[in-house]
Structure 1
Amino acid sequence: MKQWTHSSREEVSAQTIGQLINLSGRQRMLSQRIVLHVLLASYGDGAALMVAKDCLSTFAQTHADLVSGDGPLTGVFSEALRQLYFGARNADESIQRFIAQANQAVSCLESGMTDGREKTDALVVQGTPLLELLQEITLAYQQEMRSIETASLKRQSDIAERLGNISMQANIVALNARIAAARAGQFGREFAVITTVLADIMKEMDQLIHSVVNAHSDNEAPPRSSAPLPGRHIRADHAFQ
């Protein structure tokens, strides 16, 4: 099984992480169904054995998808997830061990071997710690989602701030142009019309920027600074002298 994929967090969409959260959450439910139905099967419930086999198959395939990123998923795409799955926590090994124990228990019960109850008891012992581990994995994906959303809002806020500074400089240039047109008298009338249109465009651009900034405020994004960028101060009364 592939243990590391090279997709970076920036390449992973929020929609994909939402799918990963749903899958990891479903793994918790499946693990408990596997333990419960293997236990029921150990008491002679044949239907429970079939349910346990189906759940185990889905559980094993989903874990492979989460780790290796087959298909549309991204696998282990961050250092935090890599440490969780393959680092000190070693979640991958624990989950693979649970899958192997569940398969052994199912095989023993299916074939009527005498140690089926022993294998079942060993599986039941693993149920609670595995559930805690799967909860930890789900929380890790949720943290990745929060990190991506925060980074996205930060990028949007930076773009809004840059556009705001560009708009400010453009307004200053338009003002200087109107001053120059006024000084030119009748020779600057056509130029004055152009500067008026430019001012209207800048006004519309400011309105769009304000709408973006307000949207960020609603989402508790970092506030946008109104200060101009360093080194870009322009004196309107000296620009065309």
Structure 2
Amino acid sequence: MLNRNTRIDASGAMNEQITTQRREVSGQTIGELINLSGRQRMLSQRIVLHVLLASHGDRAALAVVRDCLATFASTHRVLVHGDERLPGVFSEGLQQLYYGTRKADERVQRFIALTDETLARVEADDDADDGVAREYVDALVAQATPLLELLQEITLAYQNEMRGIEAATQRRQSAIAEQLSSISMQANIVALNARISAARAGSYGREFAVITQVLADIIKEMDALIYSVVDGNADEPASRRDASHGTSQLSSRSRVNTRSPQRICT
């Protein structure tokens, strides 16, 4: 009964926390959550394996189980409740997984409680292959595969959250690229009109023509940066190459700007 009340209290606390932690979560943060949830799968299997070893007389395995169980339980608390860096359950999908029909939080808590009780029975039973301790070990082993499937589902849920973040990032980048493209088109029109005006002005328009050429060069650089943003949506390594290319273009822009006053003065 104590374990059940503890789980109910933990669920109530988390439900309250969910209402106050509706905030944007970065891809880097979700990546950390994916790593933690993936480690839970490994720990669950390690726990069951070493409980079996301990039940057959390997007392050193008991210490391994204790250590793994402590890490498993603390990681689950972080995934559900969060800490100073990680948000806990931060989306409707995760809330449904942990507290909805799948009852992931409750099932993980049951596994933790059963493991702790099994360890106590194995330690207290001189012949762990018989009696009550064996029943607890069998019950824990029976939970191994269903729990592994549940932990895999949790990991996939975090991966889906990551895909959502990536899709939103791509949409924002595409919107920025469209805005830059519109600005570039308008600037091209202005540059064309400026060239026409400079040509009509004859010899008096030469200095103005220099400024117009500088503006045209800047527009070309803007177009190159726009393409780099668009390419970055499709290929991350390409985005790094385009970013470095854009940096060199920005440097050349600064060189053009420093030269342009000299040309105008002459």
**Which category describes the TM-score, using the shorter chain as reference length?**
0.7 to 0.9
**CA separation in 2, counterparts of 1:124 and 1:63?**
20
Answer with 105-114 or 133-142: which moved more.
Answer: 105-114
**CA separation in 1, counterparts of 2:115 and 2:207?**
84
Indicate yes or no: 2:207 matched with 1:190: yes
Indicate yes or no: 2:98 matched with 1:81: no
Q: Which residue of 1 aligns with 2:223?
A: 206
> Matches of residues 1-241 of structure 1 in structure 2 within 5 Å?
1=10, 2-3=13-14, 4-5=17-18, 6-8=21-23, 11-112=24-125, 115-218=132-235
Q: Percent identity?
A: 67
Structure showing the higher helix proportion among its residues = 2
* Contact residue 7 and residue 74 of structure 1 kept, 8 A: no
Greater length-normalized contact order (CA 8 Å, ≥ 6 residues apart): 1
**CA separation in 2, counterparts of 1:88 and 1:189?**
75
**CA separation in 1, counterparts of 2:64 and 2:232?**
48
Taking structure 1 as the reference length, the TM-score comes to: 0.82
Answer with 182-191 or 195-204: which moved more.
Answer: 182-191
* Cα distance change, pair 145–200 in 1 and its aligned pair in 2 (3 A): same
**Number of residues paired by the alignment?**
217
Taking structure 2 as the reference length, the TM-score comes to: 0.75
* Contact residue 56 and residue 99 of structure 1 kept, 8 A: yes
Q: CA RMSD in A?
A: 1.9
Stretches of structure 1 that go unaligned for 5 or more consecutive residues are 220-241
Matched letter for residue 43 of structure 1: H
Matched letter for residue 111 of structure 1: A
**CA separation in 2, counterparts of 1:56 and 1:216?**
41
Answer with 128-137 or 178-187: which moved more.
Answer: 178-187
Deviations 1:161-181 (A, max 9, x none): 210111111110111122223
Stretches of structure 2 that go unaligned for 5 or more consecutive residues are 1-9, 237-266
Matched letter for residue 164 of structure 2: S
